[in-house]
Amino acid sequence: MNRNTNNTALPLNSNTSQSQREYLLRLQQTRQSNPYPSSIPQQKPISNDNTPSRKLQQQQLPHSTGQLINNNPGANTNTTQMPIQGYGGKPAQMAGSGIFTLGPYRTRKDSTRKTILSKYDIMGYIASGTYGRVYKAKSQDSSNPMLFAIKKFKADKEGEIVHYTGISQSAAREMGLCRELSHTNVTNLIEVNLENKAIYMVFEYAEHDLLQIIHFHSHPDSKPIPESEVKSIMWQVLNGVSYLHQNWVLHRDLKPANIMVTNTGVIKIGDLGLARKFNNPLQALYSGDKVVVTIWYRAPELLLGGRHYTAAIDLWAVGCIFAELLALRPIFKGEEAKMDSKKNVPFQRNQMQKIVEILGTPTTQAWPSLGKYPEFQNLTQLKTFSSNLTAWFQSIGGTNKRGLALLAALLEYDPVKRVPAFDALLHPYFLEGTRVSMDIFEGTGLRYPSRRIQSDDSDITAVGGGAAQGNNNNKRGFGIIEETGRKKQK
């Protein structure tokens, strides 16, 4: 473009209004002061047509071709129309409306996303539960052939019809929390895949769980779990629970089947489907989930109908697990009363009676808030007992007094007085005698059998999750046997 165009006088005549004159003078001054006039598009002469429709056309945006709109084709002008300048001096292009829709985004993501079967070799089926099924898998990466546990959340199925009703509350909680948590004693979530309307959660694989270990030692030819192993198990469990509580997370379903053990003897707390944050609840925790924690591990404040509860419910469950590791059977093995047709939560009379028989009848002197619980009147109708915890401990062959003291601190009736997880880590039971190890198998010489899998049922992509839909080995978690299906202990 000719640089002399800077000195070209702008067209002014008697029909030009005062405002137009001022605008044109400012434009002329800008041209004279700009050393690079080619970067400023030339302006067309102002037309004498001052009708409203003509003024409206002069304000229209340029077409996506980058050329200025000529709203006055009859005007005689020598000015050159310049394209609208974009990034890097290239003509700007206006995006079509289709680019802002989800269709192109999904197409691009689907073309690059790897499927579950393209990344993992499914070795077999482990267990099924309320919300889905768990499979054992191996990475297809030959340089790092790691093992994984893949949890597939299933859709609602009625007969042969599959209904997709969205993501379950359990799946949403577990995905949200596991993506944020990172600790040695909490199971590690590797990734989440959404594929063909199914959700796959890929976890690190653990070869054992505490329920499997308890069953191994409960065999008549087996010996009790070594004290060093029990101590290391309890310390690691409390370490993981302490981490959860320090990050304002309630697990609300601690039990042996949900506590995994790796081949290297590291405890992994799993199955956070009932877990939730409790730092700033908008309503009572009871309103979201009326029933939490498996019945044998449920704290007395929950059995008595408490609407508000604290992290102490997890410590009660840990105490029950401690007692089960020592006795090789549940300490409070009651029968659960089911909800009625109106979904009313009944008083768990049998379970509460089992607790009272060993710990004694609670009193308002030892538990000041006891009388405020909704089921307090039902509690007063139970047969009264004095505390028999020491006698129970001796009946199972327990001799470690500090172990008994820790058990009593975890099974304290009053949740306010129940020992917190962090304080329990410093209990004298862990500080004296055999030392705690991050490998629970260290020094024991024990080899536990591998987790059982069904290699003939490995079709993870099948609707409903595979052929053995009726084989419900474990209602929650990766455990292989449901607690209610155990053989009776002598």
Residue (of 487, 473, 488, 490) closest to 125 by Cα position: 473
Distance from C-alpha of 73 to C-alpha of 70, rounded to nearest angstrom: 6
Complete DSSP assignment for 147-197:
EEEEEEEPPEEETTEEE-----HHHHHHHHHHTT---TTBPPEEEEEEETT
Q: Which residue, 59, 202, 187, is CA-closest to 135?
A: 202
Cβ atoms of 299 and 314 within 8 Å: the answer is no
In the chain, count H helices and then E strands: 16, 12
Residue 377 corresponds to which amino acid? Q
Q: In sequence order, what are the residues at sequence separation of 6 or more whose Cβ sits closer than 8 angstroms to the Cβ of residue 267? A: 185, 233, 236, 237, 239, 240, 259, 260, 261, 440
Taking residue 383's Cβ as centre, other Cβ atoms within 10 Å add up to 8
Query: What's phi and psi for 19, nearest 5 deg?
Result: -65, -35
Q: Tell me whether residue 253 is one of the annotated catalytic residues.
A: yes
CB 212 within 8 A of CB 480: yes
236: left (phi over 0), alpha (psi -120 to 50) or beta: alpha
Rounded Cα distance between 160 and 319, Å, is 44
DSSP 128: E
User: Are 262 and 206 spatial neighbours (Cβ–Cβ below 8 Å)?
Assistant: yes
Cα gap 263→155, rounded to integer Å? 33
Q: Is 401 helix (H, G, I), strand (E, B) or coil?
A: helix
Let me know: does 395 contact 326? Beta carbons within 8 Å: no
- Per annotation, catalytic residue among 110, 209, 253, 314: 253
Could you give the residue numbers annotated as active site? 253
